[in-house]
Amino acid sequence: MTNALAPTPALTARRSPIGMMRAAIGLDAAPAADMHRPGKAPVASAAAATDPGAQTGFTIPPDRLRWLNKATFGFSTPLDAEFLGLPGATMDAKWQSWLDQQFNPAAIADTDCTNRIAAGGFSTLNKTLPQLWSQHVVSDYYTRMLPAYETECATIIRAVYSKRQLFERMVNFWHDHFSVFGFDYDIAPVLVHYDRDVIRPNAFGNFRTMLEQVATSTAMQLYLDNYASRGADFNENYARELIELHTLGVGNYFGPNPPFDVPCLTSTIHCPGSVPAGYVDNDVYEAAAALTGWTIKNGYWQYPNDNDGSFVYRADWHDRRNKIFLGLYIPPNNQPAMSDGRAVFDRLVAHPGTAKFIAGKMCRRFIGDDVSQALVNAVALDFSNHVSAPDQIARMLRTILVSSEFKNAWGLGMKRPFEMTMAGLRGLQANFHPRPDNTSAWTLTERFVSQMQICGHRSFSWNPPNGYPDRQSAWASTGALAMTLKMLSWLPEMRVNNDSSSAFVSDIVAQTASAFPTASARTAGAIMGYWCDRLLGYRPEPTYGVVTSFLQQNASASEPINIDNDAWGGGNTLKGHYTQQRLRTAVGMILMSSDNFRR
């Protein structure tokens, strides 16, 4: 008996559109070592020889496009023009100039982005923590969530329009690393403070400084419950994630073994004496005890007048017994306030495992899933050698971005849905003004963030404490890809008021007509070449050929495409509304192409 629900052979495995996308990106194809040779096609997998849906090669973009795509939220022609205008006789020299500029974000004029945020009507972004606490820790749901909504909108605006692209990418990285669920009922009122006063000031700064500021932030205190940890009844939630996710990483976990069973590392300049290779559960408990009394002013019954949401150390809530953490003896009693908690942070930051864990994550974010241990070690050495430097993180990042591995790699990673969407808006030069709206109407912003939620990558919406994953396998399932493709196909159709009568956020037809003022020059090849250049910076095959054929339909290659009116023409001449819609769809196809997914 035939199963009516069985897929047809033409749509099974990688012959399906999404399967071909997976193969084209490289998820089911060549080994990583063969996927990133500039100027060469990757080695095909064995399956590619028999599967016509498996692509065996792809066009490698020019150097500057690879670099800019990985270091920003996406290519755009204004970004490219600015890069080419920088000092330097070679692309390598211009890259150094661009990095020098980007590592000094305060000196970059960011007028367009600043004006868009100022025009957004946001009411919470400049409120102090006490103001956020008193005005938004309320029962009205919209008022309570408003700081989170506005932080999300400002994040989108900055990703699309800010010229401080490298800085924004690092802010995004640290929000994943020190992740909190921003739309939690307790955290949403103070998310503005977490983003503005904790993550952003430290994005290029010192890891140890950021680590303590995260620990004492109201958002993290509430998210991982350290605000309620006191005395012998300590709460281990934050201490466990501090070690497992924020510093040493789970790869350095030695299980529930006795502490002294952990093998020792050799002595290093920053870790004198005998240092255990990793941590055990007992280290988590000792760290939790060391951090008791680190809490917030939340009107607790013992301190009813302390209620502004700020951090406070309660000495009478602190576990004052002696502790042993990662082999470090922390003496009991009569110690300065917060000293044993800070000793825990110092010990973690000095541990070589933390340096390698942070370095590995940074390399993966900016290069791809498979990076050499040699580069990770070099970046970890920067971490350790500059452990007290105010620009420690910037030094690490520069090492990554000037490495031959970064410069040569392509196709080792896949853009995540948020990055794909921001890149699409940047390439389209869309005029998008996201803002929260407490009305009954289904607004464009609501639809936009809802689509991002469906893609699984709405800002500040990852519930577990490990942050959004950055390995491509996490985003390469059929469901995740399908929702991302749906989002990308919608971008050229977005309208300001989310209805068919309002203006397009990016008017594809008008921009095409402006690029080709002479109607006779509007061949399918010329039009789609223009849009490949706009969105990707180059014309990769087979993407360029596919979208050209789609727009051309029955017309000849030299025949102009009429996009000027809404009438339907006869013969082979394609006119009017139908061609205009086909043009928007073709632009969406470029956004959905495997070439656009690669990084």
Give residue-wise pLDDT tens across range 421-462. Answer: 999 999 999 999 999 988 767 799 999 999 999 999 999 999
66, 49, 51: which is closest to 412 by C-alpha? 66
Contact (Cβ atoms closer than 8 angstroms) between residue 384 and residue 208: no
pLDDT in tens, 86-142: 999 999 999 999 999 999 999 999 999 999 999 999 999 999 999 999 999 999 999
8-state DSSP, 307: -
Task: Please give the Cα distance from 561 to 524 (Å, whole number).
Answer: 6
Contact (Cβ atoms closer than 8 angstroms) between residue 333 and residue 320: yes
pLDDT above 90 for 233: no
pLDDT above 80 for 272: no
Task: Please give the Cα distance from 400 to 379 (Å, whole number).
Answer: 7
Q: What pLDDT shows up at residue 18?
A: 53
pLDDT in tens, 469-526: 999 889 988 988 999 999 999 999 999 998 888 999 999 999 999 999 999 999 999 9
Q: How confident is the model at residue 25 (pLDDT cuts 50, 70, 90)?
A: low
8-state DSSP, 195: I
* Lowest-confidence pick of 148-162, 300-314, 434-448: 434-448
Q: How confident is the model at residue 53 (pLDDT cuts 50, 70, 90)?
A: very low
Structure-model confidence comparison of residues 524 and 260, the more confident one: 524
Taking CA atoms, 294 is separated from 5, 164, 194, 216, 342, in Å, by: 57, 34, 17, 7, 11
Task: Please give the Cα distance from 493 to 586 (Å, whole number).
Answer: 12
Distance of CA 40 to the CA centre of its chain: 28
Contact (Cβ atoms closer than 8 angstroms) between residue 588 and residue 491: yes
Distance of CA 502 to the CA centre of its chain: 31
Q: What pLDDT shows up at residue 43?
A: 29
Structure-model confidence comparison of residues 331 and 340, the more confident one: 340
Task: Please give the Cα distance from 230 to 316 (Å, whole number).
Answer: 9
Q: What pLDDT shows up at residue 23?
A: 55
Task: Please give the Cα distance from 235 to 239 (Å, whole number).
Answer: 8
State the residue for tokens 């939690």. 184
Q: What pLDDT shows up at residue 3?
A: 36
Give the length of the chain: 599
pLDDT in tens, 358-383: 999 999 999 999 999 999 999 999 99
Average pLDDT over residues 531-537: 97
Taking CA atoms, 346 is separated from 76, 220, 388, 419, 520, in Å, by: 42, 19, 11, 34, 69
Reported pTM: 0.90
Q: What pLDDT shows up at residue 58?
A: 80
Q: Torsions phi, psi of 143, nearest 5?
A: -60, -40
Task: Compute, in degrees rounded to 10, the torsion defined by CA atoms 135, 136, 137, 142.
Answer: 140
